[in-house]
Amino acid sequence: MKKFQFKLESVLKLRERAETEAQQSHAAAGRRLEALLTELAQAESEFKQLAAQLQNVQQSSFRPAERDILWNGVKYQQDLCARLTQKVDFARKDLEEKLQHLLDARRDHEAMVKLLEKEQQEHNRLAELEERAMIDDIVNARHASLHSRRSANTPL
């Protein structure tokens, strides 16, 4: 019997490549989200520090210029935190989409792998049947040969 050849090998490779690309895309989205979360945590920490400084300045004797500088810093950090929060939300949605794409790609690839395995099993089953048939033919031919020799050697 000829060697097994999967007719959809090119499709299997495409789906395998698509799964790999989806894994890489998902990992990159995860890294982007982590970087944004770190940046947001730093911005929130700076915001809290500036807000505490502003509160301290307002409770003690202060110069209006110093208060204005701190107020502008607080306002800037507050806006920065809002923008980063929005970016984090988008990054989370992107990560969810990438995860869904990865799961779809993985499902498609696994379906092709299962089809490959099924066809390999069928090929192996047919090869085994063919081998058994060949062995049976050899055994029957030998048996027939021995039978014909015996009948030729026996006197009538």
The string of DSSP codes covering 99-115 is HHHHHHHHHHHHHHHHH
List the domain boundaries for the chain. 10-116
d(CA 69, CA 50): 10
Architecture of domain 10-116: Orthogonal Bundle (1.10)
Conformation bin of residue 155: beta by default, left when phi > 0, alpha when psi is -120 to 50: beta
Residue 153: pLDDT band (50, 70, 90) is: low
Residue 154: pLDDT over 90? no
Looking at the chain, the whole-number percentage of residues with pLDDT higher than 90 is: 67
16-33 burial, b at 16+ Cβ within 10 Å, e below that, comes to: eebbeebeebbeebeebb
Mean pLDDT to the nearest integer, 53-82:
86
Residue 70: pLDDT over 90? no
More confidently predicted of 138 and 63: 138
Retrieve residue 135's tokens: 């062995």
d(CA 112, CA 97): 23
Burial of 40 (0-12, 13-18, 19+ CB in 10 A): middle
Residue 155: pLDDT over 70? no
Residue 17: pLDDT over 70? yes
Helix and strand counts by DSSP (H, E) for the chain:
2, 0
Can you give the pLDDT at residue 47? 94
Residue 156: pLDDT band (50, 70, 90) is: low
d(CA 82, CA 40): 9
Whole-model pTM? 0.72
pLDDT tens per residue across span 105-152: 999 999 999 999 999 999 999 999 999 989 988 888 887 777 776 666
Residue 44: pLDDT over 70? yes
Retrieve residue 84's tokens: 């980063």
Residue 56: pLDDT over 90? no
Can you give the pLDDT at residue 37? 97
